[in-house]
């Protein structure tokens, strides 16, 4: 059984953990037939509803921009509906759990900052706004990447939410 993460299409719906064991579990998670979309840089596969675009399923902003940021050549692709995220397949072709660091970024509270620099430059610049949500930070980073292709864009965790609430 794989412990996946569901990214709902609703912009404010919370992400949730999901035990995914059978094909039916994946189909139930995405609301139909499944299609695998790999994001190798993150070590994950996103399962989407294969017929979501033709059935006019709601746009999944968070999943789409997560993929766009890590697979810039796929920036025209739109992911729709709820998305199930698991780790890449193992040597036997079986799904795995998402990498622990990735899971923590999605599920655990934290504060993130976007950093940019000109390609090949040495000095990183910090964006003035910290965000309390990794996926919202990814959306901003992906938009910067698309608007300014000459920039390198990174996301940095600056503290946990608990650290922020404990400041005087």
DSSP β-bridge partners for residue 165: none
Do 7 and 67 share a domain, yes or no? Answer: yes
96 and 28, same structural domain?
Answer: yes
HSE-up (13 A, CA, CB side) for residue 14? 6
Q: Which stretches of the chain score pLDDT less than 50?
A: 168
Residues 77, 16, single domain; the answer is: yes
- Tell me the C-alpha distance between 40 and 71, whole Å: 8
Q: For the whole prediction, is pTM greater than 0.75?
A: yes
Residue 18: per-residue pLDDT: 97
Q: What is the pLDDT of residue 160?
A: 65
Same domain, 11 and 92: yes
Tell me, yes or no, whether 129 and 92 share the same domain.
no
Residues 80 and 116 in one domain: no
104, 126, 147: which is the final residue of a domain? Answer: 104
pLDDT at 165: 53
Asked if residue 64 lies in contact with residue 78, where contact means CB atoms within 8 angstroms, the answer is yes
Q: How far apart are CA 91 and CA 24, in angstroms?
A: 23
Question: Are residue 10 and residue 87 in the same domain, yes or no?
Answer: yes
Structural domain including 118 reads: 109-165
Rounded-to-integer distance, Cα 10 and Cα 162, Å: 26
Same domain as 113, residue 92: no
Q: What is the DSSP letter of 80?
A: B
Report the pLDDT value the prediction gives residue 29, as an integer from 0 to 100. 97
Q: For residue 73, what pLDDT is reported? A: 87
Is there a single domain that holds both residue 63 and residue 31?
yes
Number of domains in the chain: 2
Q: pLDDT value at position 163?
A: 58
pLDDT at 39: 96
């Amino acid at each position: 059984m794989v412990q996946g993460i569901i990214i709902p299409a609703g912009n404010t719906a919370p992400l949730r953990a999901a035990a995914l064991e059978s094909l039916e579990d994946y189909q139930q998670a995405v609301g139909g037939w499944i299609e695998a979309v790999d994001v190798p840089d993150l070590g994950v596969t996103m399962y989407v509803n294969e017929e979501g675009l033709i059935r006019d399923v709601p746009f999944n902003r968070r999943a789409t921009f997560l993929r766009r940021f890590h697979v810039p050549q796929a920036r025209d692709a739109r992911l729709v509906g709820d998305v199930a995220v698991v780790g890449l397949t193992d040597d036997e072709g079986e799904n795995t759990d998402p990498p622990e660091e990735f899971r923590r970024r999605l599920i655990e509270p934290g504060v993130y900052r976007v950093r940019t620099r000109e390609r090949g430059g040495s000095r990183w610049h910090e964006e003035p706004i910290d965000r309390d949500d990794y996926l919202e930070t990814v959306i901003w980073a992906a938009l910067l990447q698309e608007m300014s292709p000459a920039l390198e864009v990174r996301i940095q965790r600056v503290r946990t939410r608990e650290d922020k609430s404990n400041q005087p």
